[in-house]
Amino acid sequence: MKMKVSVIGAGIGGLAIATRLALRGHDVTVYEQADVPGGKMGQVRWKDFRWDAGPSLFTLPDLMEELYVMAGEEMKLNIRYEQLDIVTKYFYEDGMVINAYGDPEQFVREAAEKTGEKTGRIRRFLKKSKIMYELTRDVFIFGVFNTISTFVSRKFLWAALQIYRLEVLSTMHGANKRRFKSPHLVQLFDRYATYNGSNPYKAPGTLNLISHLEHNLGAYFPEKGMYKLADELYNLAVRKGVAFEFNTPVERIVHSEKVVKGVMVKGETRTADIVVSDVDIYYLYKDLIPDMKFPEKYFKPERSTSAMIFYWAIDRPYNDLELHNLFFSADYKAEFDHLFGSKTIFEDPTTYIFVSSKIVKGDAPDGSENWFVMINTPENIGQDWDKEIKNARVNIIAKINRILNTDIEPHILHETVRDPRSIEAETFSYRGSLYGNSSNSSMSAFNRHPNHRNDFPGLYFVGGSVHPGGGIPLCMASAKIVDNQIKKHIIQQ
């Protein structure tokens, strides 16, 4: 049955669902308020420099490969990507440096040699993260979450029986502290809580499964940079017949007694049988269906972190840096107390430096580098961001100078800055949070908005603010779930 589908938003989730539905023969139009596709996966340019503006880590590429397979095309003809030999280079304030090699055994040896931790413990942890991922994947990541059938399914019951293996009752930090003697390794693995904007001192130990993605399955990088992923997904969607309207904000979802009729654009109704929203769920309810009761329960959990990013054009190479580098705070606990407690930025913030020109040669002129320097920030609750930026910049520069034994300021040719305000304004992400709600409680998986409301036929939700969560792989997963739901609902009709 051919359906008329409106997709609101051309973020990664919106692009993926539009392509999937076009491949099933539906008539799909994507409305995007910005003038380009990608949403948070954008890019910044200055003279001959280019920066990926948002995501910099690419894991689970199979989810993107799957779209090309469905389309009968070869992904590598459009996007070539390589597995990273060194996923991240970790720098500590006491001078320790750990290379997180992509090869698990090489990483185990490096981590043990640098920290004195027993190789067996690190190996056991990597095995454990794999088990946790495999136990939860089908239910918590690719499973539908708003039907009773989820909770009586064999997979859910099996996962529930294995709950003692999922570290649900411990925090991530608590579990890692019991596991490792080395505080450096505890910090390294605690860090994965930030991959969905959470706090390792509150998030359940189950989040240790995230390590599996990088350490066992591998981290990748597209030959032409991260934005290429969004650009090529857009091109694939166009080739498969999806229509795009840019600079076109959707003003309302049009419905009659909660049965979808279409979307309102420029004051006119564009009819549709199905509407899929890739818009942050808060703004969806507030602006696009204000006549619906606001579902408070989904907004009670803490929001995930936002970010402050300095895009620097650097006039010289730094050979000590890899593609991904992390300069840890000397007091991780205090940093998270600031992020989630006082909602301020700690004076010694963990600083992430991503240099895509290490791989993408065209991203900076010869002899120069494009630095993406990011720190986690609290959600935007009206802090004085100009002041925060000024203070953080001083602290970040001091940290870089200490760790790299350099004087970075004279080498910064140009600077662009993004902060929670601009992230919120540009992509309509509530409070600038990068991943919707945080996972700071063991119930967080149950507190995410589902991909479909049974009482609102025809309306579906994808993207980082709904189940299964934020981050590129999870947004792709949300599109896969919605694709299956729509298929099922059409068959039932």
List residues near ligand FAD by CB under 6 A: 8-14, 31-34, 39-41, 54-57, 249-250, 278-279, 307, 309, 423, 427-429, 434-435, 463-464, 470-472, 475
Cis? peptide before 468, omega within 30° of 0: yes
Closest approach of ligand FAD to the CB of residue 482, in Å: 11
Q: Which residues contact 134 (CB under 8 A, 6 or more apart)?
A: none
312 backbone dihedrals φ, ψ, rounded to 5°: -110, 135
DSSP secondary structure, 128-170, as one string: HHHHHHHHHIIIIISS--SSHHHHTSHHHHHHHHTGGGTTTTS
Give the Cα separation of 388 and 343 in Å (integer): 11
96 or 425: CB nearest ligand FAD: 425
Picking from 223, 322, 298, the residue whose alpha carbon sits closest to that of residue 465 is: 298
9 or 200: CB nearest ligand FAD: 9
56 or 115: CB nearest ligand FAD: 56
179 or 358: CB nearest ligand FAD: 358
389 or 490: CB nearest ligand FAD: 389
Helix (H) or strand (E) segment spanning residue 13 = helix 12-23
Closest approach of ligand FAD to the CB of residue 163, in Å: 27
CA distances to 73, 396, 429, 466 from 447, rounded to whole Å, are 37, 35, 18, 9
63 or 112: CB nearest ligand FAD: 63
DSSP secondary structure, 277-324, as one string: E-S-HHHIIIII-TTSPP-GGGGSSPBPPEEEEEEEEESS--TT--SE
Closest approach of ligand FAD to the CB of residue 456, in Å: 17
Closest approach of ligand FAD to the CB of residue 32, in Å: 5
Shortest-Cβ-distance residue relative to ligand FAD = 11
Beginning with the edge strand found earlier in the chain, give each strand of the sheet holding 259-265 in spatial order.
250-256, 259-265, 268-271
Closest approach of ligand FAD to the CB of residue 314, in Å: 19
Give the Cα separation of 136 and 144 in Å (integer): 13
13 or 262: CB nearest ligand FAD: 13
Closest approach of ligand FAD to the CB of residue 318, in Å: 21
